Structure 1
Amino acid sequence: MAARPGRWFVSSFSSSDSTCVEVRFHGPRVDVRDTKDRTGPVLSVTRAEWTAFLTGSGTTPLAAEPTADGGAVLHTGGPDRLHFTPAEWTAYRLGVEAGEFDPPHTAVA
């Protein structure tokens, strides 16, 4: 599944109800939300910070804290938290491994 700039998408490994980590590439930013609560908080980081989060290298304010049941909580250090179930987090991680959440390449003029 190729990400389209400006559009929200989830991992192709998500269940049929599409509950998952939802991402969009929006200009120089990457936005993240929870499909279970689309009117809830949106975490936003730069593309460089997103890439650092995906690869586990570099500096990024985005953090994933594992939960006791195998899910995760995403946050950027502020009060907003996104809570993901084990199935949602597994689908997201499989999508990361498949390159589905890599930022699209920007053409150089």
Structure 2
Amino acid sequence: MYARPPVTGLEVDSETRCRHYHSEIDRIAIRFHCCGEYFPCFECHAAVGCGNASVWPKERFDEKAVLCGACGTELSIREYLDCVSSCPHCAAAFNPGCNLHKHLYFEV
């Protein structure tokens, strides 16, 4: 059986929601380019992460860096950016508002 990667943050639940983002559709975690660790959001990374935030460069968008909190599937950045706010594997809804923060994670 495949083990889900650990997600570090503040008050992280079983679907990767955290203290900062905890609505029903807040269910992704992002593997940060700087440290390779999964966090639910940029605020959790700022609070307990490596302190050296950097964004994923476009030439690495085929790497797995987004975790669906519903099914545990790791998505490539490209899959995530193209998915229209739902997991392409289990169809769980993702928060479309996350698009407002993509510049904090990915080169735009």
TM-score normalised by length of structure 1? 0.33
Query: Normalising by the residue count of structure 2, what TM-score does the alignment of the two structures yield?
Result: 0.33
Bigger Rg, which one: 1
Which has the larger strand fraction? 1
